[in-house]
């Protein structure tokens, strides 16, 4: 494609108003016009684009409409050009003839629309303008054709002035042509007294011109094909000419195979009228296809031979005619298109796989796509074949009916046969399914009848005994024009057919007028006889299943609208998932199911997502179902009032403003506004500190988020201080982005009346490379410059806080702040008392043993959140408040609060659950959570996405099966994790009992947990729930302790009111296994076994993972060996180790509060001594042990009691259903099977995998078959994948800086190819990823680790010990995927070539000097390479 032509056309388009549409073969195959005409709307060529354009024309007032398309698309859309819109409105189509098929032009002739053809960039510039003038002049469509060309490339030309000629409506066509100096036909070459002439409708080039000139043949080209000015053609042909060949370039021979070519016909239509002007001796029609350079001369020679013969043959073809695609670029286009189509098909499989999962036996996709049958993948085709099939079946039913009536069978058991057939008839006619057994019996009996014709006939058509579940799959193209589309046909047919309509338009790209499309659901519901569902597989898998099952059951038409938003056919699932969430959350794509046959109104419409979009709401209002829905779903009612009642909102705002003004009256000083933007809380804390001090100095100060400042009001401020931190790569934090965008783009803002200052927080080493230095405190600096630019007056110069300074950002802050007070005239005040900020320690003390205002907060339905203090306190109850970060920005833009939901973590000592307990969790995940369960890196279960009003029912549900969440998080001893140890039942029993004992021993004694969550009744309870937890012997305490004075009080004998300085973790491993990472926790217990009996533990103290990027005072640490403790005393030893940390841990700085810092500050020996003093005995010498690995061993094994255990691979611990892996359904089925009085338990590992344990031989086959059915039995993954782990990170973890769980699997896939090439597929490399340096997946002890730094950027660590015994070290800072892959692929290759026998990767990189070893945590930051 010559860019010259495209650019020339784009210039014209950009100079004319009105909508522009671009067609392209696939989302991923871009039209060259896209970057040049950015405002154009893109339509897919397979989706009948002219149908949508037609709809646009009907509705819009555009003076002209432009379409940029291709020849084949025009051909496919021919019927649309007959629409009145195209006959009466100027629509200009610029048509690319990449395939050189000029026969498309002739096929348009009967439409009588102006057609012009350009051949060079210069012509493209002129003719594109000409086309608009002809269209406006005739008030109908016009076409401008052009083929890719190098012809006269140098003649580029830039037209000036308006596209449309003044008063073009009133001109004659000939005037317009004259204006542009365009002749309908043109002589291309100069020859002397030619005898032969050729009118050529095809691609010109120098070679063809030369060829004809050499032969002294006059070459004429058509510039205007319609109107066909034959007169003008004849008048330019000199008198010497005797013959004319009408030569059409055509790609496809079939269009020119008729006896007369269309060009010839066009010529003859007018010729009789003008024959007097020119009488030819011969008029010959011919065609040429694509001719390779160098081959023209031969083609021309043959062509002339024919014309010059005495009896020329009509319609000879020359060149490559039978090939549609002729150039390299068009071939590439086709290939790309095919690839994209395959990509789309792959994405859409997500839905089709679920259909297959439900029941593949009688499923029939009527228009299944498979490359070779593109035409038959069209839904209309499918519907046609369905109707045909239906007719055949109806005839068959009639035949059966007749046969039964006449009873002409001679089978071995006629009475049974008649009985079965009658039953079949009754059921089939009433639309009920017939069971397979009956059908098989019928067929078998018919086969025994060797004589009757009727039996033979029925057997010949036996497929019609079975009814199919028929599905049509349609793209969203069907939905544009409801009246005439396939949707309408399906709905009105009343037939039992299901239709899946996949909508792939991303929410973010939704069009302004995109409503029409979304109406299909409403249209179908209004129609009233149709099952309708709106689903989104990446939002709710369960709902998809429900909808498919219901649609198949429904005896009539079903329309299932499925959302699958992708921007490119090659998108991975992550962006699709994120787009889906946004669309569902915003109400753009509501999830619902509607069954008109259900009479109970409450049940006929089920809303499965909580947001409704306006049209749906109107429909429901009309149908009067909304109030019923709202009363059923409190969240829905909140969302509805939120969107509906803007009036109330503004009133509330006013009340708030008034009371605030009232509050300020008490203060006398000048006003000050402190606006902050902060992601992690530092800038927010600084802003609040400034505000507190300002109030203390008598200023009328307010503090608010930057995004809550309006640009319009900014000039009305008096004094304003901005505090912003830096996130991403020099970007504004989320809650300041909106403000910054508005400020940056403001055009007429005058800030000369305000005084301002900026304090910026950043890290000069966050992006250590030289070229990245400008990211340092960039937002603050940009903001400062912009405010100055708009005329703002500085209160003081910008203040810069740097994490690298001795006192972090406080160094810069302490220098800057006094200047502000001075500027405001409040610097000389004595004795200003700043109210102290509330610390975590204050919160604990003031919480009344972890109560806070949690109970009250749960009652508040005006927000999905709880107070910030309660957020800290609920952690002790196993609950974290989070919000969905995928949709944070969108909700903010909509003025909604973040989508708050809670993570609820179980305390699961020993990491095991009974099948009944597991089933309960599975149910709670579906009904109270986000439909998934997460196995954590500390071997417990977590539920995500629990909204506030589901919290209590979720926790009560867990307690009803004796699982609790107390102390699963918070500054206490948390879940005690033990090795999974499937092959040794006895030892596993002993260590898990000890784990449970330690957990119970160190459990907080507060009755707050029971009081808040369990006391009394709740609507969500099931019978017997409360009895279960009230009868429990262990777990959360139910009654207070009697203390002095006969009072009942909460007592925390181990913790006191302040609990621990920070979290505290204990694990137990059983050598040689280290699946719990014994070195990485506050206490690591290494089990010592003698004679297959646990005798005690070697005790490691002071391991820990969390760090802060670039803060060298923070580091990971492996535990220090204290020595051996016998098993009966181990819980006491753990208690005393914890006490020393309780009493000596740093309570002033949470970043320095873990035991690992206490022990390093104090010295290992002194810490140990203090423990021994409390214990009153000493640690014994550590006993010998050997550890081999810290990964899991997958597959089956048998223990010494003969029980079987299967370790399943659950990637990153996420138990969910996906189209490829329905693992959650599978585990549920296994749990259901095991609860039926069978053996078995579920066991979790610290590597986030799951064991189906204690299976007796008699149950083994069944469990194996379930594992296979649900693809849980596959453990054939690469060694790298099997040894990998990732933390949760996005979208739920509030601390995540980068993706982890959702990204690591894809990254590993990209590495696997290289591993395979180097013969490393089965070699284990422990690789871990976390979204931030808190290190939940223990990255610092992995051989390869990636720790999130910013979205898409990670620090790469190397050199950890293969079984978790050694810390790794930073190899590269902040690298992105390309670099990660390049580095790791290179290193893996070296490892494969240079490693010693059995040498693990972590050891290899150290031996070969690629990285220095980290021998102790405090040296983690030493020896990092300078160019890291």
Catalytic residues: 905, 974, 1063, 1065, 1287, 1293, 1332, 1336
Q: How far is the CB of 818 from ligand SF4 (least distance, A)?
A: 36
User: With CB under 6 A as the contact rule, which of the stretches 355-363, 503-511, 557-565, 1285-1293 interacts with ligand SF4?
Assistant: 1285-1293
**Cβ nearer to ligand FMN, comparing 1105 with 1191:** 1105
**Cβ nearer to ligand SF4, comparing 263 with 1347:** 1347
Identify whether 72 is preceded by a cis peptide bond (ω within 30 of 0): no
Which of 133, 326, 558, 727 is the binder for ligand FMN (CB under 6 A)?
727
**Cβ nearer to ligand SF4, comparing 699 with 1286:** 1286
**Cβ nearer to ligand SF4, comparing 124 with 1296:** 1296
Which of 45, 48, 101, 679 is the binder for ligand FMN (CB under 6 A)?
679
Contact 679, 731 (CB under 8 A): no
Q: How far is the CB of 1106 from ligand SF4 (least distance, A)?
A: 8
**Both tokens assigned to 538:** 């990446």
User: With CB under 6 A as the contact rule, which of the stretches 53-61, 338-346, 682-690, 1150-1158 interacts with ligand FMN?
Assistant: 682-690
Binding residues for ligand FMN restricted to 804-833, rule: CB under 6 A: 809
Binding residues for ligand FMN restricted to 1274-1313, rule: CB under 6 A: 1297
Q: What is the DSSP string of 293-309?
A: TT-HHHHHHHHHHHHHS
64 interface partner picked from ligand FMN, ligand SF4, none, CB below 5 to 8 A per type: none
Distance CA 1231, CA 1234 (A): 5
1334 interface partner picked from ligand FMN, ligand SF4, none, CB below 5 to 8 A per type: ligand SF4
* Secondary structure of residue 653 in the 3-state scheme: helix
Binding residues for ligand FMN restricted to 248-277, rule: CB under 6 A: none
For 1326, phi then psi, to 5°, come to -75, 115
Does 763 interact with ligand FMN (rule: CB under 6 A)? Answer: yes
Which of 761, 1289, 1356, 1370 is the binder for ligand SF4 (CB under 6 A)?
1289
Which of 1288, 1353, 1356, 1384 is the binder for ligand SF4 (CB under 6 A)?
1288
**Both tokens assigned to 1240:** 């078995």
Does 1293 interact with ligand SF4 (rule: CB under 6 A)? Answer: yes
The residue with tokens 């269209």 is 135
343 interface partner picked from ligand FMN, ligand SF4, none, CB below 5 to 8 A per type: none
Q: How far is the CB of 1300 from ligand FMN (least distance, A)?
A: 14
Query: How far is C-alpha 1335 from the chain's CA centre?
Result: 24
Distance CA 490, CA 414 (A): 40
By beta carbon distance, the residue nearest ligand FMN is 762
Exposure of 1353 by Cβ count < 10 A (0-12 exposed, 13-18 middle, 19+ buried)? buried
**Cβ nearer to ligand SF4, comparing 536 with 1332:** 1332
Does 612 interact with ligand SF4 (rule: CB under 6 A)? Answer: no
Which of 194, 730, 957, 1226 is the binder for ligand FMN (CB under 6 A)?
730
Query: How far is C-alpha 17 from the chain's CA centre?
Result: 36
Exposure of 198 by Cβ count < 10 A (0-12 exposed, 13-18 middle, 19+ buried)? buried
Q: How far is the CB of 1336 from ligand SF4 (least distance, A)?
A: 3
Q: How far is the CB of 1110 from ligand FMN (least distance, A)?
A: 8
Does 53 interact with ligand FMN (rule: CB under 6 A)? Answer: no
1295 interface partner picked from ligand SF4, ligand FMN, none, CB below 5 to 8 A per type: ligand SF4
Binding residues for ligand SF4 restricted to 1329-1358, rule: CB under 6 A: 1330-1332, 1334-1336
**Cβ nearer to ligand FMN, comparing 684 with 1323:** 684
Q: Minimal CA–CA distance to 494: which of 464, 524, 517, 520?
A: 524
Q: What is the DSSP string of 1189-1209?
A: BSS---EEEE-TTS-EEEEE-
545 interface partner picked from ligand FMN, ligand SF4, none, CB below 5 to 8 A per type: none
**What is the three-state SS of 137-161?**
HHCCCEEEEECCCCCCHHHCCCCCC
Q: How far is the CB of 1292 from ligand SF4 (least distance, A)?
A: 8
Cβ partners under 8 Å of residue 463, min gap 6: none
**Cβ nearer to ligand FMN, comparing 202 with 728:** 728
**Cβ nearer to ligand SF4, comparing 454 with 906:** 906
Cβ partners under 8 Å of residue 700, min gap 6: 664, 667, 669, 670, 671, 672
Residue burial 1260-1297, b: 16+ Cβ < 10 Å; e: rest: eeebbebbeebebbebebbbbbbbbbbbbbbbbbebbb
Cβ count near 68 (within 10 Å):
26
Cβ count near 741 (within 10 Å):
13
Binding residues for ligand FMN restricted to 522-551, rule: CB under 6 A: none
Q: Where are the beta strands (DSSP E) in 1082-1159?
A: 1083-1089, 1094-1101, 1120-1126
Does 740 interact with ligand FMN (rule: CB under 6 A)? Answer: no
Does 903 interact with ligand SF4 (rule: CB under 6 A)? Answer: no
* Secondary structure of residue 74 in the 3-state scheme: helix
Which of 384, 680, 1020, 1305 is the binder for ligand FMN (CB under 6 A)?
680
Which of 90, 148, 557, 762 is the binder for ligand FMN (CB under 6 A)?
762
587 interface partner picked from ligand SF4, ligand FMN, none, CB below 5 to 8 A per type: none
Contact 477, 47 (CB under 8 A): yes
Which of 343, 733, 1339, 1360 is the binder for ligand FMN (CB under 6 A)?
733
Radius of gyration of the chain (CA): 39
* Secondary structure of residue 7 in the 3-state scheme: helix
**Both tokens assigned to 1089:** 């076994």
Tell me how many degrees the CA angle 363-369-374 measures, rounded to the nearest 5: 140
Contact 715, 754 (CB under 8 A): yes
Does 1291 interact with ligand SF4 (rule: CB under 6 A)? Answer: no
- The edge-to-edge listing of strands for the beta sheet with 498-503 is 363-365, 469-475, 498-503, 558-563, 531-536, 592-594, 605-607
The residue with tokens 């549920």 is 1228
Which of 803, 886, 1241, 1299 is the binder for ligand FMN (CB under 6 A)?
803
> What x/- string results for residues 775 through 794 when contact with ligand FMN is judged by CB under 6 A?
xxx-----------------
User: With CB under 6 A as the contact rule, which of the stretches 311-319, 452-460, 1281-1289, 1413-1421 interacts with ligand SF4?
Assistant: 1281-1289
Does 678 interact with ligand SF4 (rule: CB under 6 A)? Answer: no
Distance CA 1042, CA 1051 (A): 9
User: With CB under 6 A as the contact rule, which of the stretches 75-83, 583-591, 773-781, 1368-1376 interacts with ligand FMN?
Assistant: 773-781
Q: How far is the CB of 942 from ligand SF4 (least distance, A)?
A: 10
726 interface partner picked from ligand SF4, ligand FMN, none, CB below 5 to 8 A per type: ligand FMN
The site that binds ligand FMN (CB under 6 A) totals a number of residues, namely: 26
Report CA dihedral (844, 850, 856, 862) to the nearest 10 degrees. 70
The per-type count for the chain, helices as H runs and strands as E runs, is 48, 48
Does 203 interact with ligand FMN (rule: CB under 6 A)? Answer: no
**Both tokens assigned to 742:** 């508005």
Contact 702, 733 (CB under 8 A): no
Distance CA 1220, CA 1211 (A): 13
The site that binds ligand SF4 (CB under 6 A) totals a number of residues, namely: 13
Binding residues for ligand SF4 restricted to 1299-1328, rule: CB under 6 A: 1300
Binding residues for ligand FMN (CB under 6 A): 678-684, 725-730, 733, 761-763, 766-767, 775-777, 803, 809, 1297, 1350
Binding residues for ligand SF4 (CB under 6 A): 1287-1289, 1293, 1295-1296, 1300, 1330-1332, 1334-1336
């Amino acid at each position: 494609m010559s860019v010259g032509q495209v650019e020339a056309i784009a210039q014209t388009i950009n100079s004319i108003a009105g909508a522009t549409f671009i067609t392209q073969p696939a989302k991923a195959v871009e039209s060259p016009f896209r970057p040049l005409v950015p405002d154009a709307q893109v339509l897919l060529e397979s989706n009948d684009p002219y149908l949508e354009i037609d709809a646009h024309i009907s509705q819009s007032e555009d003076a002209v409409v432009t379409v940029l398309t291709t020849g084949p698309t025009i051909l496919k859309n021919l019927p649309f050009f007959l629409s009145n819109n195209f006959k009466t409105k100027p629509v200009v189509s610029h048509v690319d003839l990449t395939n050189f098929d000029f026969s498309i032009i002739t096929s348009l002739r009967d439409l009588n629309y102006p057609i012009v053809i350009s051949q060079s960039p210069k012509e493209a510039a002129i003719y594109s303008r000409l086309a608009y003038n002809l269209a406006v002049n005739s008030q109908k469509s016009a076409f401008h054709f052009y083929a890719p060309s190098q012809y006269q490339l140098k003649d580029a030309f830039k037209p000036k002035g308006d596209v449309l000629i003044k008063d073009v409506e009133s001109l004659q066509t000939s005037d317009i042509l004259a204006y542009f100096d365009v002749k309908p036909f043109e002589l291309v070459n100069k020859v002397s007294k030619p005898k032969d002439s050729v009118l050529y409708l095809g691609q010109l080039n120098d070679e063809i011109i030369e060829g004809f000139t050499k032969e002294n043949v006059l070459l004429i080209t058509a510039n205007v094909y319609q109107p066909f000015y034959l007169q003008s053609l004849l008048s330019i042909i000199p008198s010497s000419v005797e013959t004319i060949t009408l030569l059409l370039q055509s790609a496809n021979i079939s269009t020119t195979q008729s006896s007369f070519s269309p060009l010839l016909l066009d010529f003859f239509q007018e010729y009789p009228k003008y024959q007097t002007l020119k009488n030819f001796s011969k008029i010959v029609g011919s065609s040429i296809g694509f001719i390779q350079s160098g081959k023209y001369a031969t083609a021309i020679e043959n062509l002339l031979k024919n014309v010059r013969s005495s009896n020329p043959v009509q319609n000879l073809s020359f060149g490559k005619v039978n090939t549609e695609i002729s150039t390299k670029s068009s071939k590439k286009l086709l290939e790309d298109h095919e690839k994209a189509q395959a990509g789309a098909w792959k994405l859409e499989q997500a839905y089709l796989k679920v259909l297959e999962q439900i029941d593949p036996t009688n499923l029939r996709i009527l228009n299944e796509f498979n490359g070779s049958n593109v035409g038959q993948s069209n839904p209309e085709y499918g519907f046609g074949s369905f109707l045909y099939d239906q007719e055949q079946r109806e005839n068959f039913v009639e035949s059966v009916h007749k046969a039964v009536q006449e009873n002409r069978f001679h089978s071995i058991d006629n009475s049974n046969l008649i009985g079965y057939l009658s039953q079949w008839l009754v059921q089939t006619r009433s639309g009920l399914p017939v069971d397979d057994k009956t059908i098989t019996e019928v067929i078998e009996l018919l086969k025994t009848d060797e004589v009757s014709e009727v039996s033979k006939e029925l057997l010949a058509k036996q497929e019609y005994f079975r009814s199919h579940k028929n599905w049509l799959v349609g793209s969203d193209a069907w939905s544009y024009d409801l009246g005439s589309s396939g949707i309408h046909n399906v709905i009105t047919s009343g037939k039992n057919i299901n239709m899946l309509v996949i909508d792939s338009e991303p929410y973010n790209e939704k069009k302004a007028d995109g409503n029409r499309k979304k109406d299909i659901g409403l249209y179908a519901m209004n129609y009233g006889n149709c099952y309708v569902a709106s689903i989104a597989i990446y939002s709710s898998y369960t709902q998809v299943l429900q909808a498919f099952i219901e649609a198949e059951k429904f005896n009539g038409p079903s329309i299932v609208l499925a959302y699958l938003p992708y921007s490119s056919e090659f998108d991975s699932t992550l962006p699709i998932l994120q787009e889906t969430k946004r669309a569902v959350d915003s109400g753009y794509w509501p999830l619902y199911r509607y069954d008109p046959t259900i009479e109970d109104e409450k049940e006929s419409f089920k809303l499965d997502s909580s947001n409704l979009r306006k049209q749906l709401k109107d429909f429901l209002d009309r149908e009067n179902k909304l109030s019923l829905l709202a009363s059923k779903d409190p969240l829905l009612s909140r969302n509805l009032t939120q969107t509906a009642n803007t009036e109330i909102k503004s009133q509330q705002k006013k009340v708030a403003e008034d009371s605030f003004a009232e509050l300020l009256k008490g203060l006398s000083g000048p006003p000050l506004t402190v606006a902050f933007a902060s992601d992690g809380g530092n800038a927010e804390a600084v802003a609040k500190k400034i505000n507190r001090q300002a109030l203390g100095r008598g200023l009328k100060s307010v503090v608010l988020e930057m995004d809550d400042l309006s640009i319009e009001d900014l000039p009305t401020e008096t004094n304003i201080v901005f505090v912003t931190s830096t996130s991403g790569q020099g970007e504004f934090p989320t809650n300041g982005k909106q403000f910054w965008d508005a400020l940056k783009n403001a055009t007429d803002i005058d800030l000369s009346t305000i005084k301002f200052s900026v304090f910026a927080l950043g890290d000069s080493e966050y992006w250590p490379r030289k070229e990245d230095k400008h990211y340092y405190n960039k937002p603050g600096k940009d903001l400062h410059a912009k405010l100055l630019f708009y005329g703002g007056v500085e209160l003081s110069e910008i203040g810069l806080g740097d994490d690298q300074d001795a006192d972090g950002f406080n160094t810069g802050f302490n220098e800057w702040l006094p200047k502000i007070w001075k500027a405001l005239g409040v610097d000389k005040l004595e004795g200003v008392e700043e109210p102290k900020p509330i610390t975590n320690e204050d919160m604990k003390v003031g919480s009344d043993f972890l109560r806070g205002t949690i109970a009250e907060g749960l009652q508040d339905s005006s927000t999905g959140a709880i107070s910030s203090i309660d957020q800290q306190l609920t952690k002790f109850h196993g609950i974290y408040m989070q919000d969905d970060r995928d949709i944070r920005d969108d909700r903010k833009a909509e003025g909604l609060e973040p989508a708050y939901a809670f993570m609820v973590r179980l305390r699961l000592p020993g990491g095991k659950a009974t099948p009944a307990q597991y089933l309960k969790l599975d149910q709670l995940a579906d009904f109270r959570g986000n439909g998934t369960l997460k196995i954590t890196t500390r071997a417990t279960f977590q539920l995500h996405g629990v909204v506030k009003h589901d919290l209590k029912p979720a926790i009560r549900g867990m307690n009803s099966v004796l699982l609790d969440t107390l102390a699963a998080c918070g500054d206490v001893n948390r879940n005690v994790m033990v090795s999974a140890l499937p092959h040794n039942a006895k030892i596993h029993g002993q260590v898990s009992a000890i784990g449970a004992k330690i957990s119970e021993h160190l459990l907080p004694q507060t009755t707050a947990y029971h009081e808040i969550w369990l006391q009394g009744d709740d609507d969500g309870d099931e019978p017997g729930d409360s009895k279960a937890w009230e009868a429990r012997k262990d777990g959360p305490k139910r009654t207070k302790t009697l203390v002095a004075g006969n009072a009942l009080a909460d007592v925390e004998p181990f913790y006191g009111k302040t609990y621990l300085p920070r979290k505290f973790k204990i694990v137990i491993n059983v050598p040689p296994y280290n699946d719990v990472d014994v070195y990485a926790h506050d206490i690591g217990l290494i089990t010592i076994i003698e004679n297959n009996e646990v005798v005690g533990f070697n005790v490691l103290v002071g391991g820990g993972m969390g760090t802060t990027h670039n803060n060298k005072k923070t580091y990971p640490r492996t535990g220090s060996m204290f020595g051996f403790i016998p098993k009966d005393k181990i819980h006491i030893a753990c208690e005393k180790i914890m006490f020393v940390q309780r009493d000596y841990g740093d309570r002033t700085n949470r970043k320095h509060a873990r035991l690992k810092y206490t022990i390093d500050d104090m010295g290992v020996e002194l810490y140990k001594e203090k423990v021994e003093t409390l214990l009153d005995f000493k640690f014994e010498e550590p006993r010998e042990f050997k550890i081999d690995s810290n990964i899991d061993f997958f597959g089956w094994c048998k223990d010494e009691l003969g029980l079987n255990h299967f370790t399943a691979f659950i990637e990153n611990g996420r138990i969910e259903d996906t189209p490829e892996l329905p693992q959650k359904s599978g585990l549920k089925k296994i749990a259901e099977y095991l609860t039926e009085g069978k053996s078995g338990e579920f066991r979790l590992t610290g590597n986030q995998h799951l064991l189906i344990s204690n299976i007796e031989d008699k149950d083994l086959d069944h469990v194996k078959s379930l594992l296979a059915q649900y693809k849980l039995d596959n453990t054939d993954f690469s060694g790298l994948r099997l040894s990998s782990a990732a933390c949760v990170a996005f979208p739920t973890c509030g601390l995540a800086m980068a993706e982890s769980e959702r990204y690591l699997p894809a990254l590993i896939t990209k590495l696997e190819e290289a591993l395979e090439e180097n013969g490393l597929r089965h070699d284990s490399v422990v690789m871990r990823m976390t979204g931030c340096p808190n290190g939940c997946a223990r990255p610092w002890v992995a051989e390869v680790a990636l720790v999130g730094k910013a979205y898409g950027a990670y620090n790469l660590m190397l050199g950890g010990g293969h079984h978790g015994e050694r810390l790794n070290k930073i190899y590269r800072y902040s690298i992105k995927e390309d670099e990660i892959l390049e580095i790791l692929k290179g290193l893996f290759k070296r490892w494969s070539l240079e490693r010693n026998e059995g040498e693990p990767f972590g050891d290899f990189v150290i031996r070969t000097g690629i990285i220095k070893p980290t021998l102790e945590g405090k040296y983690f930051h030493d020896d990092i390479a300078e160019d890291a």
